[in-house]
Amino acid sequence: MMEGRSSVRSIAVMNSIHEILLHSPMARLFAIIALGYLVGEIRFPGGFRLGVAGVLFVGLACGAMSPDFQLPAEVQSLGLVLFVYCVGLQAAPGFLKSFKRDGLRLNLALVLALAVTAGATFALMRITGRGSAPLTGLFTGALTNTPALGAATETLARRSGGADAVDLVVVGYGVAYPVSIVLVLLLVQWLAARAPAGDRKAANLLALPPAMTIAVETPNPNCGAWRVHEIAEKCGVLVTRVRTAGGTSELAAEATELPPGSLVLAVGTPTHLDAAAAALGHKSEVRLEDETRGFERHRYFVSNAEAVERPLRALQLSRLGAVVSRLRRGDVDLPVTGDTVLHFGDRVRVISYRDTEPAVRKFFGNSLTVLTETGYFSFALGIVLGLLLGQIPIPLPGMAEPIRLGIAGGPLVAALLLGSLGRTGPCIWSIPNEANMTLRHLGTLLFLAGVGVKAGRGLLAVLQSDGLALVALAVAITVVAHATFLAALRLLGERKLPAMLGAIAGFQTQPAVLAFAASKTDAGPMNTAYAAVYPLAIVLKIILAQLLVAA
């Protein structure tokens, strides 16, 4: 009897929950996000997790179980706009730099591989007769790119009768996404196993740049006495303090002369520090970093608008009696040079004279409250400009209708342009890193929940009739993409494991791959390669997805 009553209560509770979810779109939305987060945290063999993509699969399941579990269309659109605009702001500082030196080589390989992959996908459309929608979904899923999925679904939604095609794109993405992640992780493991032992040292993404005291013995071959800025340019290290022969320690300025017999405290990577020691003289047993009399060392949050989006050299901190020795952005310590540009929310380690420390603290701001209230006018204005840009028709040869960047590409391109500018008069286009990450992840969750529920209606029918074929096609597209990319990298002379793994993660635009690769090799060149490839990969995938879905 008791068991019967318990069952009745359980059924009543489930019915009540079902009624709440059925009549409350907001409850449905956050229930899908919560369940999706739990699914995304499940660890599969090899440490693989779905991450935020778990929200997509929960959304697909909810849409398949009940056609009434729909979400407002604005949820999907808002999420996509937030996501792509924040991604663009994050990628902007390194976008133009990615076309210089080694970045040019990596991006040439990227362009070639994406062009071949898009061409192969187009050929599969014609060979299999499945049409553009499911194959475009497989293309975006094989390359694990949510903005490209958003661009494709938006392009189809603008057409009459495009709703069913949108569902096919999302189903294709959902099939290819986990397949691609597994294959790429296996590729990373294979490359790491075949690499020389020297390339396979474990990475430390949070490593603090070390310091070294160097005795200056060798004169400058150009003009006799070294100057601080010449050491930075030649050796790639930051000089923070100096001590002339028989003198006391003082903060370094760019024009400070360093005759033989001087000691300098330099900060940089071990390789750069060794190069500086060889060029200037030798490593000293003296530890200038331990000489703290008269100095203050503090970490400050950068929250003053006057300190951001300008090179450190232009801030003229020497007038305040201060030197920035280290910079932490998010969870990563970055190298500091005169060309380094600070962003809102950066944490800087500053050495100053004791009597100037209050003025230094005031200059950087050091206020978390200000950070939470900064930049939302320019953030909203940038999105408006991006949405307007996305509606401009772009005619292309051979296409009946012009393409538009839409709500995926327009905000992304605007963010790349505005983020590269940094500031325009009083408008500072960047936002604190923590705020960027929060808004970006929120946007991803909203978009994946909305698009997943919408596509779930036809999920079972598609998988039952075409599931194995879609998996096989997803494997084929992933293999073509990465085989071409690796061949192009080797053809262009890139064979070092850190750069290759970073480039693969950037090509895939997939942080999960980067995190997995971090345990296999040196973090420095790997992160550099990832940052060089990521921005262009995002933009090209958005454009190619629109071209494929319109084919």
What is the per-residue pLDDT across 279-292, written as a single tens digit (0 to 9) for each?
888 888 888 877 77
Any alpha helices (H) in 316-432, and if so which ranges?
A: 357-364, 368-372, 376-390, 406-421
Contact between residue 24 and residue 69 where contact means Cβ atoms under 8 Å apart: no
Rounded distance, CA 503 to CA 495, Å? 11
Closest CA relative to residue 226, chosen from 274, 284, 268, 277: 277
Q: Is the pLDDT of residue 506 over 80?
A: yes
Predicted TM-score (pTM) of the model is 0.69
- Which is it for strands 226-227 and 257-258: parallel, antiparallel or unpaired? antiparallel
Query: Residue 14 carries which DSSP code?
Result: H
**What per-residue confidence (pLDDT) applies to 206?**
44
Q: In percent, how much of the chain has pLDDT > 70?
A: 81
CA 286 from centre of chain: 40
Give 324-354 pLDDT, tens digit per residue.
888 887 766 777 777 788 887 788 888 888 8
Query: Over the stretch 141-161, which tens digit does the pLDDT of each residue have?
Result: 889 887 788 778 877 776 655
Instruction: Report the interhelical angle of 73-95 vs 376-390 (nearest 10°).
Output: 100
Stretch 264-288: mean pLDDT: 82
What is the C-alpha to C-alpha distance for residues 260 and 262, in angstroms, rounded to an integer? 6
Can you give the pLDDT at residue 57? 81
Q: Is the pLDDT of residue 200 over 60?
A: no
Helix 497-507 and helix 459-491: axis angle, to 10°? 150
Give the mean pLDDT of 100-104: 66
Q: How far is CA 475 from the centre of its chain?
A: 25
Residue 499: CA atoms inside 13 Å, Cβ hemisphere, count? 17
In order, the DSSP letters of 398-429 are T-SS-B--HHHHHHHHHHHHHHHH-EETTEE-
Q: Around Cβ 87, how many Cβ atoms within 10 Å?
A: 24
- Which residue carries 């895939």 as its tokens? 508
Query: Stretch 216-234: mean pLDDT, rounded?
Result: 77
How many H helices and E strands in the chain? 20, 13
Three-class SS of residue 160?
coil
Q: What is the pLDDT of residue 286?
A: 81
Instruction: Name the token pair of 41.
Output: 């945290």
Tokens of 182: 């597994």
Residue 268 to residues 126, 277, 287, 336, Cα–Cα distance (Å): 54, 12, 16, 8
For residues 174 and 63, is the Cβ–Cβ distance under 8 A? no
- At residue 113, the pLDDT reads 94
Q: Is the alpha carbon torsion for 545, 97, 81, 399 positive or negative?
A: negative
452-496: pLDDT as tens digits? 787 776 667 677 777 788 888 989 999 999 999 999 998 988 878
Query: Running DSSP on this structure, what letter comes out for residue 521?
Result: S
In the predicted model, is pLDDT for residue 511 greater than 90? Answer: no
When the pLDDT of each residue in the chain is averaged and rounded to a whole number, the result is 79
- 8 Å CB contact between 439 and 86: yes
The token duo for 405 is 């960047």
Higher pLDDT, 208 or 277: 277
Dihedrals phi, psi of 444, to nearest 5 degrees: -60, -45
Q: How far apart (Å, rounded) are the C-alpha atoms in residues 53 and 63?
A: 16
Within 8 A by CB and 6+ apart from 353, the residues are 251, 294, 295, 296, 321, 322
- From residue 5, alpha-carbon distances to 17, 18, 287 in Å are 18, 20, 76
Sign of CA dihedral 500, 527, 232, 315: positive
Q: How far apart are CA 297 and CA 18, in angstroms?
A: 58
- Give the amino acid at 41: E
Q: Do residues 272 and 210 touch, judged by C-beta distance below 8 A? A: no
| DSSP H stretches of helix in 24-143 | 25-40, 53-65, 73-95, 102-128, 132-142
Is the per-residue pLDDT at 2 higher than 50?
Answer: no
**Cβ(449)–Cβ(32) under 8 Å?**
yes
